[in-house]
Structure 1
Amino acid sequence: MTATASARAGSGVNVPALVRHYAVLIMLVALFVVLSVSTSSFLTLTNLLNILNQNAPLAIIAVAGTLVVICGGFDLSTGAIFSVANVVAAWVALHLNSPVLGLIAAPLAGAALGLVNGVAITRLRIHSFLATLASSLVYAGLAVLITGGFLISVQATGFTALGRGGIGPVYYAIVILALFALLSGFLLNRTAFGRYVLSVGGNAEAAELSGIRVNRIKLYTFLYSGLAAGIAAAIGVSRIGTGQPQAGDGMQLLAIAAVILGGTSIYGGVGAIWRSVCGVYLLALIDNGFDILNANPFFKDLTTGVVILAAVALSVASKRR
């Protein structure tokens, strides 16, 4: 063994792990500084709160999606679940004349659809990628069926308060995101359920042999993912006051991209809630920065794609090591 190798072994510092752990935070801070210096329009309280508020629903979905990916799965149906919960909330609020009941119906609908995903994956033993890809098509059709392809407008004050109101200058959506992220982080890092999620994602067969009910844990993660999509939908539909059957189109891909950007391994067993939130807002800063600087949208997509590709490459490289 060389002196250099001996020094590395003695130090006990795992450089690749440290890079993977903090890379998204470093990129987020660096981009924040660059945008702050580049334009005076970025570093304002109004702009920063708008970034936090507008991306809170996506961040909520990504937080729950982190548990799914850590557990070794993928949920490609969250965008469609968002759409269904979105129109269910508006339909209930309009037809039952109860804005509050409509907002409550959104997370309940999301949880129910997430449960269906979990049952399909664990009982029918369909890979989560294929199962949720198929269910996303079914749920998207269900959203159109509920609305007949039209928008459902609800302008009652009680219905729009959740998405448009706040505590002082801080929107309710930001508060809900913070609470949901803290709850999810607690579940992952401080409970037996979180340890089981990590164990199942790390090695499902070993977890099964150790007495963990693998299928039940997987089912719970997909139920939680559906619940998160429903909560996000309640915020989204309340913000615009209109139920739209295509409201969640593309959200599932952005959520997964944010989770991967946050260093959660696509192979399962490794991940953190706070890094996924950073991943969401890294994408948000890229989008906001290009808009403020009036840059070519093509380069925005190119930059986003390169960043995501680099994150996936880092994940694969870490797995090989």
Structure 2
Amino acid sequence: MTAETQRKAPVRPLLLAKDHAVLILLAAVIVWLSLASPAFFTSANILNILNQNAPLAIIAAAGTFVIVSGNFDLSTASIFAVASVCAAWLAVETGNPLLALVAAPVVGMVLGALNGLVVASLRIHSFLATLASSMVYSALAVLITGGALITVDVDGFADFGRGSFLGVFIPVWVLAAVVAALWFLLSGTVFGRHVFATGGNAEAAELSGIRADRVKVLVFVLSGLAAGIAAAIAVSRISSGQPQAGAGMELQAIAAIILGGTSIHGGVGAVWRSVAGVFLIALVGNGFDIMNVNPQLKDLVTGLIILAAVALAAVGRRAR
């Protein structure tokens, strides 16, 4: 072994910590909660956690594309709200639950595409563009409903959000399918490589023949589509649409994505890490509920976990 190899060898554990910080923390939290409460590590509780957090995990999985491409999407909660109220309104007006639930992802795609076109064509920073669009979309949700709750009493409408198949909630199956598709799209396709290249250096990507503007539009379309799918699950689950639905969801999704190790500067990230980040935060909340711990401490613990993950990632970067 050369002197250079000897100097490099000790940093491998640090690199491992950087690449798998969220899994290390997730495993630690699972072990801790399993020892603290026998009610935690049961199939019923685990499935309930997956079911309750499926909408947020779907949004975070697609949001990974946006951040890896070097952008931000602050409008996902507002898109979620518009898609929710549109689905509820259509269900009430037409009495067709399938049409209403399919409309939610379509609405999400259209609004996401508008975001992408504004960012790509007008050259406005995505942070400002989606901050503005979130206000517009929120107002649109209020206009559609008049600020009131739309209650849905249509046969079959609640099946998508509350039903189960082979003993597993339907939203969990949807989550698995969406995550698998997005995981493959980002890590195993030419489009995924273009997303990484655009986030790493948009100008260099353009020079290499990648249409960075088209990539930007498409990642926002994916983000909007995911918000629409999440809205379809949520509105079906509670059988009502409201303009305030999903408030704060965009920040929760971004927190989970960053917690998972995706770089806010773009060019680095993975779908599975973002989903792990969602469930790491969810497990902390679930653990507090099971153990009847003061809920005011939840944000403190969650914040410390995020700091720990960021610190592990930073140590890993320095080790390189």
8 Å contact from structure 2 (residues 18, 315) kept in 1: no
Alignment match, 2:234: 236
Which residues in structure 2 correspond to 1:261-280 (within 5 Å)? 261-280=259-278
Alignment match, 2:168: 170
Between the aligned partners of 1:70 and 1:12, the Cα distance in structure 2 is 29
Structure 2 SS opposite 1:302: helix
Per-residue displacement from partner, 1:181-215 (whole Å, max 9, x unpaired)?
11011111111100100111111111011010000
| Residue 298 of structure 1, CA deviation | 1.8
Alignment match, 2:80: 82
- The question of 1:311 aligning with 2:292 is answered no
One-letter identity of the residue aligned with 2:19 = H
Per-residue displacement from partner, 1:36-61 (whole Å, max 9, x unpaired)?
11112212222111100000000000
Which residues in structure 2 correspond to 1:162-241 (within 5 Å)? 162-241=160-239
Between the aligned partners of 1:157 and 1:17, the Cα distance in structure 2 is 53
TM-score (norm 1): 0.95
8 Å contact from structure 1 (residues 64, 224) kept in 2: yes
Alignment match, 2:32: 34
Between the aligned partners of 2:315 and 2:155, the Cα distance in structure 1 is 51
8 Å contact from structure 2 (residues 83, 231) kept in 1: yes
Structure 1 SS opposite 2:157: helix
One-letter identity of the residue aligned with 1:287 = G
- The question of 1:58 aligning with 2:56 is answered yes
Between the aligned partners of 1:118 and 1:56, the Cα distance in structure 2 is 25
Between the aligned partners of 1:16 and 1:76, the Cα distance in structure 2 is 32
Structure 1, unaligned stretches of length 5 or more? none
Alignment match, 1:69: 67
For the structure 1 residues 12 and 192, does the alpha-carbon distance in structure 2 shift closer, same or farther, using more than 3 Å as the test?
Answer: farther
% identity of equivalent residues: 60
One-letter identity of the residue aligned with 1:298 = Q
8 Å contact from structure 2 (residues 21, 312) kept in 1: no
For the structure 1 residues 315 and 133, does the alpha-carbon distance in structure 2 shift closer, same or farther, using more than 3 Å as the test?
Answer: farther
Structure 1 SS opposite 2:45: helix
8 Å contact from structure 1 (residues 265, 315) kept in 2: no
| Residue 13 of structure 1, CA deviation | 6.2
Alignment match, 1:249: 247
- The question of 1:91 aligning with 2:83 is answered no
Report the more deviating stretch, 59-68 or 147-156: 147-156
| Residue 309 of structure 1, CA deviation | 3.1
Between the aligned partners of 1:250 and 1:176, the Cα distance in structure 2 is 22
Q: Which of the numbers 287, 292, 295 marks the counterpart of 1:294?
A: 292
8 Å contact from structure 2 (residues 70, 267) kept in 1: yes
Which residues in structure 2 correspond to 1:108-147 (within 5 Å)? 108-147=106-145
Between the aligned partners of 2:175 and 2:31, the Cα distance in structure 1 is 24
One-letter identity of the residue aligned with 2:163 = G
For the structure 1 residues 302 and 6, does the alpha-carbon distance in structure 2 shift closer, same or farther, using more than 3 Å as the test?
Answer: same
TM-score (norm 2): 0.95
Report the more deviating stretch, 51-60 or 136-145: 136-145
One-letter identity of the residue aligned with 1:122 = A
One-letter identity of the residue aligned with 1:276 = S
For the structure 1 residues 145 and 312, does the alpha-carbon distance in structure 2 shift closer, same or farther, using more than 3 Å as the test?
Answer: farther
Structure 1 SS opposite 2:61: helix
For the structure 1 residues 248 and 314, does the alpha-carbon distance in structure 2 shift closer, same or farther, using more than 3 Å as the test?
Answer: same
Between the aligned partners of 2:311 and 2:153, the Cα distance in structure 1 is 46
For the structure 1 residues 253 and 206, does the alpha-carbon distance in structure 2 shift closer, same or farther, using more than 3 Å as the test?
Answer: same
Between the aligned partners of 1:290 and 1:245, the Cα distance in structure 2 is 29
Alignment match, 2:6: 7
One-letter identity of the residue aligned with 1:60 = I
| Residue 34 of structure 1, CA deviation | 0.9
Structure 1 SS opposite 2:73: coil
Between the aligned partners of 1:173 and 1:187, the Cα distance in structure 2 is 21
| Residue 21 of structure 1, CA deviation | 1.4
Which residues in structure 2 correspond to 1:145-160 (within 5 Å)? 145-160=143-158
How well do the aligned residues superpose, as a CA RMSD in angstroms? 1.7
Alignment match, 1:100: 98
Between the aligned partners of 2:87 and 2:237, the Cα distance in structure 1 is 12
